[in-house]
Amino acid sequence: MSSSIPSRVNLIDVGPRDGLQNEKTPVPAAVKIELVHRLQQAGLREIEVTSYVSPKWVPQMADNHEVMAGIARASGVAYSVLTPNIKGYEAAVLDRPDEIVVFGSASEAFSQRNINCSIAESIERFAPVVEAAMAAGIRVRGAMSCTVGCPYEGEIAPERVAYLAGLLKGIGVQRVDVADTIGVGTPRKVQRAIEATLQHFGIDEVSGHFHDTYGQALSNTLAALEMGVWNYQSSVAGLGGCPYAKGATGNVATEDVVYMLQGMGIETGIDLDKLIDAGAYISDFLGRKPNSRAANALLTKRGG
């Protein structure tokens, strides 16, 4: 194995927020809370719990206060939330998140369609959020969407990724996610996007966030590992998708990433059996199988 591949990887499960936000079936707060509990019991040390956006636009996250208040917080676990503007931040800070997440796009067209403003305008909107969070001692992560491809613009040049990373660094964001939002990335394209991001952030401040629309998420994870990236977002049971990208499937399943990493001898601190049970729990509630090949294979093996 290449010496640049990390011996340990940190996974940030985004299932409770990014995974569930577009589900049409209402998911009660109690189910979301139980999912968070099961994830932390499985060994996840970072969980993206909810978002503070208008319930008009994302009704699934309208119970953000109830969910955050209901979590029995575990020592050593960080709970992050998405805050799109200062109003969202002011609501979020009441619930004592460990980290807030702001988001920008490397695609101008996607930025306009997603949050109705340009990239530069989105950064202006996030600047007071970042400033307030930093003053309160809350960490800040920046999610960079469409870093390799956009449903409206097509392929995204690495220079656009570097531009966005520089803007986020300029307002004080501490770490960033390089997200293949619509799952069109392939290993070299992902590596170029990460290389562009590394112009402004160190390797410890960069994470990979890959969707599996074309079955490339694990290959892209391996490509990022070869560059030394050791932080990744994934979603239990492969929950999620992108409402602005037709046909985009969910985030790569946490179960599949853990299975691959364990097979490579890379430590995650995650109990795969407990993780599979967490994925089965939320999938059973939603009335479908987990969107994870590893989980479904191992669940079948258990039954057999």
User: How far is 112 from 90, CA to CA, in rounded Å?
Assistant: 24
User: How far is 138 from 100, CA to CA, in rounded Å?
Assistant: 7
User: How far is 23 from 131, CA to CA, in rounded Å?
Assistant: 32
Catalytic residue among 117, 146, 150, 242: 242
239: left (phi over 0), alpha (psi -120 to 50) or beta: beta
Q: What is the dihedral of CA 23, 24, 28, 32, to 10 degrees?
A: 0
Q: Is 117 a catalytic residue?
A: no
Helices of type H across the chain: 29-41, 64-70, 86-92, 108-115, 119-135, 158-170, 187-197, 217-225, 254-263, 272-286, 293-303
CA-closest candidate to residue 21, choices 278, 215, 232, 244: 244
User: How far is 59 from 50, CA to CA, in rounded Å?
Assistant: 12
SS3 content of the chain, % helix, strand, coil (to 5): 45, 20, 35
- The two tokens of residue 139 are 């960490």
Q: Residue 153: what are its φ and ψ, rounded to 5°?
A: -105, -15
User: What DSSP state is assigned to residue 267?
Assistant: B
3-class SS at 22?
coil
| Cα torsion 25, 253, 289, 32: sign | negative
Active site residues: 242
